[in-house]
Structure 1
């Protein structure tokens, strides 16, 4: 290569450093993108990677009434979905606490249902660390 041995070693070290820096950049960029929030997810991403179903939750509400609800919770990234599935007991607790103080009149119309979804979203976001809840969808609601 070069006639001077010191220049050859310096050239090889500099080349390896440049390759290492480029590799670290692409690895870190890939990690950052995988943890970042999904801005405009497709419906397939939402269904498969960003949504968690609570399952049927039945509890009594104000008076002698009870409610049976089921929610699908959409989160901002897959790490948040994993965390939320591990915190399923806290999710159910948040739903029960939120609906237990409501009356059937609070839950009958669209405005009341939107308020319930918003309250649950805020309560879940208070303990979620790896992302945020973006939407709470009511998939079943029966008040008796």
Structure 2
């Protein structure tokens, strides 16, 4: 199994509390996901993030094909980090760590995603041709949306 890694860092002009409040609420996932992916939360208990929480959603990541995705929040430390892992979905493995660190000017947010695709060689080829660029586009959209929401305030 070939394991891939994406790491992004973004500085957010807000307090750790405001940052945590936004990112630890699963309902805000839709806000930071590109609209053309048709991201819809199907099942979520409405509670603030906690270990063991299950979130199910549908999205259309490629060619308008609707897929289901189920993630579990596996670890949470308030105002510091949370980790989600795919239980069911398009990846053979998806493990996403979200870190939040107070700084002099706000918050340093770091995302680290480890992922693997199914289908061996075909999966590696799909990553090279489609998946890695799609993920870069999604994280780029997220970066821009976070800039708009937090860093464009005067």
The answer, yes or no, to whether TM exceeds 0.5 is no
Higher strand share: 2
Higher helix share: 1
TM superposition score normalised by structure 2 = 0.27
